[in-house]
Amino acid sequence: MSNPLLNIPLLPPFNQLQPQQVEPAIAQLIENCKQQLLRGLETPGWETTLVPLEEAQDQLNRAFSPISHLNSVLSGEWRAPYEAALAQVTAYWTEQGQNRELYQVYQQLAASPAFQNWSQPHKKSVELGLRDFELSGVGLQGEAREQFAANSKRLAELSSRFANNVLDTTNAWSWHTSEESELNGLPQTAVAAARSAAQNKDKEGWLITLDGPSYLSVMTHADNRELRKRVHTAFVSRASEVGPNAGEYDNSEVMEAILALRAEQAQLLGMSNYAELSLASKMAPDTPRVLEFLNDLAQRAKPAAEREMAELRVFAEAEYNLNELQPWDIAWVAEKLKQQRYAISQEELRPYFPYAKVVEGLFTVVEKLFAISVQEDRSVATWHKDVQFFWLYREGERIAGFYLDAFAREKKRGGAWMDTVATRRDSANGLQLPIAYLVCNFSPAAGAMPSLLTHYEVTTLFHEFGHGLHHMLTQMDVAAVSGINGVAWDAVEMPSQFLENWCWQPQAIEMISSHFKTGESLPPQLLNKMLEAKNFQSAMFTVRQLEFALFDFRLHASEETMNAEKIQQLLTEVRSEVAVVPVAEENRFQHGFSHIFAGGYAAGYYSYKWAEVLSADAFSLFEEKGIFDRATGEHFLHSVLEQGGSRDALDLFVEFRGREPDIDALLRHSGIEQLELNISPV
């Protein structure tokens, strides 16, 4: 039987893919790339070398994409073949990144007299290629060159192990009860989900897990304080040497090894630390600028966060006789205070946001903004019965597509993300359309109850769709700068955070809300309460994000060897400077910080706040012109979304906004506009 991975179509045939197909296919596709490069180097040039090489590498990328994806959303039998393929692919890309002959082709192209007359996307792809060669160690010699390659391979393995440990320890823990009274306070949707989880394990009663919806529901609503403590302890100690699964999936040595190898990679390239290496491909100019940005924002936000925390303590003591708030009390008490102050909760909003209506409304919003329409195609093969597939159309022409995997389930990685299936590019068979994966972890339907989203989950869906639009609406035809390719990592969150703004606009909320029983849109009184509560504890949320960002950046800017103890010490130090909430003794947040140890955010978590300045300021133009002003939507589409990585992110922002970024909009949206800040990210 032929191997479908060897000639992957635009939409992967998920109903035909088998784990045993992976290794031979990836080996063959890598060999094809190597042979194509040898042929291309015989007559160096754009059309003779780079175009056919891009074609071969696109086949490799589009075969590896479903392998990586299935490991994330199904795990199990896909883990071993994925890790084997990852090792092969990492070795290939490292080898290519150090290929001096190919590097010379790029140099010759950039130095040619005709280069200045090339189109901007073609020029930028060559410039980015030269940068990436240098960051891949193309200039290294002998032992240093071999060490850099070996480190790259080892880092890929360790990142995968880190993610596996987090997933395995999440799946390893659950708590079962036969007494529904133990779940007092939990909303009906959460109780139904717990019963469904128990039934899936052939158990009577109710089962609480560490999956996002289950964990958050307990921490926010469970009146059973001992249950909150039990669940919180299990969650914050995941993949560490403490907690209910102490030492079983411990990421301590994995973190140490990752940090040591990253530091060595930076040193091999002549840099002082990994933060410098990370910033070499980002918008931020240098490490002092990032630290100044984060520290200044923390300095201004912390007093407001301390006031919010003090209010919480006073309320907890007065209303619930809690003299000392514990970490597992914070979300629960905060929800009670929010209900008292604004008479509203996420659970009260949930019936108005059935999943199907939110998705339909999301599509209506983007149609009004960018003149695109979205249509489901149920004939497309997927990896799970709940997964949907959609096509995007503009002026009747099909321009892109995406898979939407919305619901939490066992063996699926937690969180939410967008990833690429196929990149828009000029191919040997004509224009290749961009295809994306959009993944969330919402509560699925339970019995007769449809999937109902919290408003927080609604913003998550909009966020990920913003990433998807950045990938799918590109007009670039060169893979290196198409969609999110080539976009500075600290600007890549801008379109996603930008789209979240519509979740708070009354005109848009009318489109995305409909009570699952009555069909009624969110009533004005609830809408007003929701908007009033928008910035409830926003300063506490800000300093929490800054805690993560400062810890990440200082960790990677450190020039000393970081063992598990020192990592903990640094996090404790950062918390003492910016955090305002108590922390459990068993808290090992770093052991589950997948963004920086298993994702692309190492020395880059600051990107969320950096890009938030851009996204808030970009949205402020819609506030001026009208949130559905078609001309402004088209302007954003053409200036930002269509351009991909063909131009610097700051230049694209200035083209859209007519000036450099201003932080005022972010402060206003966060409810702290009165603070005088001078921390624009440029």
**Distance in Å from the first CA to the final CA of the chain:** 56
The dihedral formed by the CA atoms of 459, 464, 465 and 470, expressed in degrees to the nearest 10: 130
Token pair belonging to 501: 């703004």
Token pair belonging to 543: 């300093």
Token pair belonging to 292: 């100044």
**Residue 324 known to be catalytic:** no
Active-site position among 347, 464, 493, 500: 464
Helix segments in 430-537, DSSP class H = 455-472, 494-500, 506-512, 524-532
Q: Which residues of 488-506 are buried (b: 16+ CB within 10 A; e: fewer)?
A: bbbbbbbbbbbbbbbbbbe
Token pair belonging to 329: 């009390």
Tell me the one-letter amino acid at 361: G
DSSP string over 518-557: T-PPPPHHHHHHHHHTTTTTHHHHHHHHHHHHHHHHHHHH
Total residue length of the chain: 682
Round to whole Å and give the CA distance between 267 and 263.
6
Other residues' Cβ atoms within 10 Å of the Cβ of residue 484? 23
Rg (CA), the chain: 25
The greatest distance separating any two alpha carbons of the chain, rounded to the nearest whole angstrom, comes to: 80
Q: Which residues of 342-379 are buried (b: 16+ CB within 10 A; e: fewer)?
A: bebbbbbbbbbbbbebbbebbbbbbbbbbebebeeeee
Residues noted as catalytic: 464
